[in-house]
Amino acid sequence: MRYFIEIAYNGKNYHGWQIQPDAISVQEVLERALSTLFRKEIKVTGAGRTDTGVHAKQLFAHFDVEEVEDISQLVFRLNSFLPKDISVKDIFKVKEEAHARFDAVEREYKYLITLRKDPFLENFAYLIHQKPKLTLMNEAANTLLDYNDFQCFSRSKTDVKTYHCSIQKAAWTEKDSQLTFTIAADRFLRNMVRAIVGTLLDVGYEKISLAEFHDIIRSKDRSRAGASAPAHGLYLTKVIYPETIKQ
């Protein structure tokens, strides 16, 4: 039987989602806990990969086991096995062909910036000391919807077959002393959101113009875009699937 598992995690202590040699990852910790409970090797496939230090408020993965009789008990036991910075929110049965990565129709990220030093946001928001011009940043963010090739915001030497993404939403909001960037798309490239945030901050500080922002996207050249914003301000907040995946 195939099951989807919904998790959330604080990414501070992990080298991202995906298993890698000589570094601890969320996927490795989750697989270890599942394998311990089921007393056999369990592999999980995630909706996507988050980079080192990036957080997730919602991420789905799928795994295959014999039928689970008491899902609520499994959730409870898994949370008992997992460290405090990873939590299981739900587990549910899906169709055998359902795929956590390929069936996702939309993913949403948020990037959090704080304009004021806050000990409770130390590892969860990017502290900046000068407020950028939000109007300019939103003008630039809105133009992202007019493009579909984002190679200029992708990590170099990546193994993707296409740099095309369909962005449905990209906007900044301000509340109290915090700025939040929300972006939703069908898929994202490695390092894409952090590179976009860094470049939009350059627009907000008037280091580059709106016309230059367009030129950067058209150039497909990562070296022309801004520096990536720090990982600890980034959150994967939502992954959406069609209802038809459920049994």
Based on the residue annotation, tell me whether 118 is a catalytic residue of this protein: no
Number of other CB atoms surrounding residue 238 within 10 Å: 15
Please state, in angstroms and as integers, the Cα–Cα distance from residue 77 to each residue in 38, 85, 115, 131, 217, following that order: 11, 15, 40, 45, 47
Q: Which of 51, 85, 103, 202 is catalytic?
A: 51
Q: How many helices (H) and strands (E) does the chain have?
A: 5, 9
Distance CA 70, CA 52 (A): 34
Q: What is residue 219's three-state secondary structure?
A: helix
- Torsion sign, CA atoms 48, 52, 58, 64: positive
Cβ–Cβ under 8 Å, residues 59 and 17: yes
- Residue bearing tokens 């907040």: 237
Written as six digits, the tokens of 53 are: 């230090």
Distance CA 104, CA 163 (A): 17
Q: What is residue 78's three-state secondary structure?
A: helix
Please state, in angstroms and as integers, the Cα–Cα distance from residue 190 to each residue in 80, 150, 246, following that order: 32, 11, 29
Distance CA 214, CA 172 (A): 18
Catalytic residues: 51
